[in-house]
Amino acid sequence: MRRRRDRNRQNWWQAIKWLSIAGIFVAIGFAAHQTGTQLARADVERLSQRLLRSEANLRDLEQRNERLQSELNAARAAQAALQRRYDTEVPRGPVADLMAQLRGRMEAGLTTQRLAQVLDHAGAVERCGGPAVSRRFRIGIGPRGADDDTTTFAEGMIRVSAQAPVTAADPAQAAEVTIAGLGVAGGSRVRTGMPLEELLVLGNSELRLSVAPSGVPGFATASLTTCRPG
């Protein structure tokens, strides 16, 4: 009987021991689960905070991009307006040449009142009377040219000459044509290549001078036509 009680007591202790061990493992597992849950929750919160910061940064970048795009559009509009103003107010081509001529004459002492009087009396040329006066002359080759590389009009008051380099394949295209005398802006003008046309102004009349290659190699032809207001 006693032996049976000892055996039962021993079985109880064994059971309690295993239950204790199982409890310890359960406690460890529960603690591990709680720790894992807390760590996971902390990771989720950390990722959520990072996501919120990323979204805030993205909104900030989008706002900055909108401001930069707006500034870029404003800069482009200002540039376009400045280009339109430049195109409108800054003379080009013949108008620029005329402004340069006017500036030179004013620096030489010509008053704005005198210029205004000339413009008031200027009119469109509508009638060119009489046949053109033509002269044929030699195109000078090289720096020394030739004795007959100049022709004149109006009793020598208008002179036309042409000079081409020795190496020119086409003297007419490479020639420097000098026009000097009455009606020439600045008294003399040099232009390169033929054919060309030049307008000479004498009072209220216009002299239209054209210079072109003639039918004879090495020669050019200058023609002068007088035009007056109709």
Q: Where are the domains of the chain?
A: 1-90, 91-122, 125-229
Q: Mean pLDDT of all residues in the chain?
A: 79
**Number of alpha helices (DSSP H) and beta strands (DSSP E) in the chain:** 4, 10
CA–CA distance, 70 with 92 (Å, rounded to integer): 33
Cis bond leading into 195, ω under 30°? yes
Within a 10 A sphere around the Cβ of 124, how many other Cβ atoms? Answer: 6
Which range has the worst mean pLDDT, 101-110, 112-121, 129-138, 194-203?
A: 112-121
Average pLDDT, stretch 145-159? Answer: 80
Which range has the worst mean pLDDT, 7-11, 33-37, 78-82, 143-147?
A: 143-147
Average pLDDT, stretch 167-187? Answer: 86
Q: What are phi and psi of 72, to 5 degrees?
A: -65, -45
Tokens read off for 39: 């760590």
Which range has the worst mean pLDDT, 9-23, 69-83, 98-112?
A: 9-23
Whether 159 and 169 have beta carbons less than 8 Å apart is answered as: no
Question: pLDDT for 22-72, tens place per residue?
Answer: 667 666 766 666 777 777 787 788 888 888 888 888 888 888 888 999 888
* Single pTM value for the model: 0.47
Q: What are phi and psi of 158, to 5 degrees?
A: -125, 125
DSSP secondary-structure letter at 139?
Answer: P
Average pLDDT, stretch 98-112? Answer: 77
